[in-house]
Chain A
Amino acid sequence: MAEVEIKAVSKAFGKTQALSDLSLTIGDGEFVALLGPTGAGKTTALRLIAGLEQPDSGSIRIDGRDVTGDAPADRDVAFVFQQYSLYPHLTVFENMAFALRAPTRRMPEADIRAKVQEVARLLHIETKLDNKATQLSGGQMQRVAIGRALVRSPSIYLMDEPLSSLDAKLRGELRLELKRIQVDLGATILYVTHDQTEAMTMASRIGVIEGGRLMQIGTPREIYENPINAHVAARLGQPTINLLPAALFAGAPVGVETIGARTEHLTIARGGGDISATVKRVEHLGDQSHLHLDLAGRPVVTLADPEAGFGAGDVVSLRLNRPLFFDAKGWRVAA
């Protein structure tokens, strides 16, 4: 395991600027998640670190060594590809053993077998080892792809949305499992996802990336509580933060154009709040309900206790409780 340092890396594909000026250091044994919408440049960032793509400018260091011009094989990274990238003509076992069979490793066959079986058990694919890679479901393929990386002990694991095609239950399970493995091995992981739950629960730091730019990096808590702009704020939190014109509310600081209100910033009462809104729809999620409100023509979504008994058409009153403030450009303004 090693520290990975990315300095001012930019990459364009023709006219598309996939990444601009990305700087990021992943400490030894750290789990960093890159969170961003589709097309943000997440995969590009991983490919640059792996050496599958050459940066237009900037440098990449692994364990203090400049690897910017090195071939992928010389960087000692493991990559879990978004599209699995299994070897279709090999069995699951051979797929996972492929990297271990490198002639330079001289790993004894018995050790290879033991290692592959251990990882396969972890990922619940031990019964599939003799299947051909093409005779698997999407979720199984994805686990084989993870397994292919996990059998190795590289300087860094690069994982591109490795849990995206699993069902919710398995995803939850593997999330815990991956985190446990990472802690056990002290592995360095750069993990790409657009699922905020994965980022929040597994990462020691989250980098929010959008339009090829790293907007903010910090612990999940920092990102959640102190987003530097409205984009970052909108990335985290379920339901998504409500961005409302400051003019609707009295008493916002000067220069504030937009008020960001998450569920915890909104207190709902039957009356006596700052502003009143109409309930449009109530979504029951079991232990909680999503309340869809209409606030002066703007949609607002917040959580509510199902016991509260709101129904469509009810008029409620909202009170803001230390919300987030943003200026005209979307940057955060101190309260």
Chain B
Amino acid sequence: MNELSASSRITYRAVMVRPGVARRIRGLSDRTLAWLFITPTIVLLLAINIFPLLWTIYLSFTNYRANRANVPTIWLGADWYQSILTDPDIWAAMQVTAHFVIWTVVIETVLGFGLAYLIDKKFRGHGMWTTIILLPMMLSPAVVGNFWTFLYQPQIGLFNYVVAFFTGRAASSFQMLGDVTLSPWAIVIVDAWMWTPYVMLICLAGLRSIPDYIYEAAEVDRASKWRQFWSITLPMALPFIMLAVLFRGIENFKMFDMVNLLTGGGPGSTTEVASITLKRAAFESWRTGYSSAFAIILFVTVFGLANIYVKALNKVKSR
């Protein structure tokens, strides 16, 4: 028994003392071994991320159509890019997207921060309220889409009923999803309902990161609650708020599922956000080359905006 443990201790020491583990494994160097370990990940990444991206870039310069794969592929150069960037329909879709992104982000940030601020003040029953507020976020977008389609029903929908109750207008006199002016707001409302809790959670983390003693120091320094909010709470929570804005902005720029379920881009093209235009071009008209070019344009836009934004975020954080 004693002998055994002594010998195992010696083996252990031998392993620890030798300079490279790899030398024991048939002469592989540490470097080779490192490559060996990361190769599967790299291959996977290339196969499911990098290759499709490069392939899409290639297709965006051709006339390729996925439903007519045997037609010879012709190199078109930047034709698609030119026609997309000059197409008024595309610009309309971009405008719809921008409208959707800006309003959802503004509403979610204001409401989310407000709720986080209230919950952070630990009013009575704040624990229960937190849980209730977080519920929508945990549902799947498909469920939320269907669920709100019912709520927006002019005849039996709860939403219309509530609006009717407070405004006195007849419940069936307006259609949230069928009206040209209302439907963009209908999707903004649903997105805000679903994702405000998420923004709230991030803001709450920000508020909780401000230690109590900072506020005590400010109290003694005779700063009013108003001044404490503007010169302590907001600046210290700002990086968190900005992070929430970034997440929601990127997410909503490529919003597809919920809009598709609620309105499918209609009525007309009033709620046709870019991703819906893209899907229509790619899988209804089968203009693969064209939609590839559009996808690349969208990608570059998000990527560029996000990069500028992250720079700003870093500046705020290191301020």
B219 in complex: contacting residue of A72, A76, A87, A103, CB < 8 Å:
A72
CB distance from B234 to the nearest CB of A (A): 10
Check if A72 sits within 8 Å of B220, measured CB to CB: yes
Residues of A within 8 A of B (CB): 50-52, 71-73, 76-79, 81, 83, 85-89, 98-99, 102-104, 148
Q: Would you call B214 an interface residue if the criterion is a C-beta within 8 Å of the partner chain's C-beta atoms?
A: yes
CB distance from B215 to the nearest CB of A (A): 9
Residues from chain B with a CB closer than 8 A to the CB of A78 are 220
CB pairs A–B below 8 angstroms (27 shown) = A50-B220, A52-B220, A71-B219, A72-B222, A73-B219, A73-B220, A73-B222, A73-B223, A76-B222, A78-B220, A79-B217, A79-B220, A81-B216, A81-B217, A85-B214, A85-B217, A86-B217, A87-B214, A87-B217, A87-B232, A89-B235, A89-B319, A98-B218, A98-B221, A102-B222, A103-B224, A148-B217
Q: How many residues of B contact A (CB 8 A)?
A: 17
A-B contact count (CB 8 A): 55
Q: Would you call B12 an interface residue if the criterion is a C-beta within 8 Å of the partner chain's C-beta atoms?
A: no
Main SS of chain A's interface residues?
Answer: loop
Check if B236 sits within 8 Å of A103, measured CB to CB: no
CA distance A83 to B216 in the complex (A): 12
Main SS of chain B's interface residues?
Answer: helix
Residues from chain B with a CB closer than 8 A to the CB of A148 are 217, 221
Residues of B within 8 A of A (CB): 213-214, 216-224, 227, 231-232, 235-236, 319
Check if B236 sits within 8 Å of A88, measured CB to CB: yes
Check if B213 sits within 8 Å of A83, measured CB to CB: yes
Q: A73-B222, A99-B222, A103-B227 are in contact. Are A89 and B217 (CB under 8 A)?
A: no
Q: A89-B236, A89-B319 are in contact. Are A52 and B216 (CB under 8 A)?
A: yes
CA distance A80 to B220 in the complex (A): 10
CB distance from A38 to the nearest CB of B (A): 18
Residues from chain B with a CB closer than 8 A to the CB of A87 are 214, 217-218, 232
CA distance A81 to B216 in the complex (A): 10
CA distance A81 to B212 in the complex (A): 12
CA distance A88 to B216 in the complex (A): 14
CB distance from A56 to the nearest CB of B (A): 20
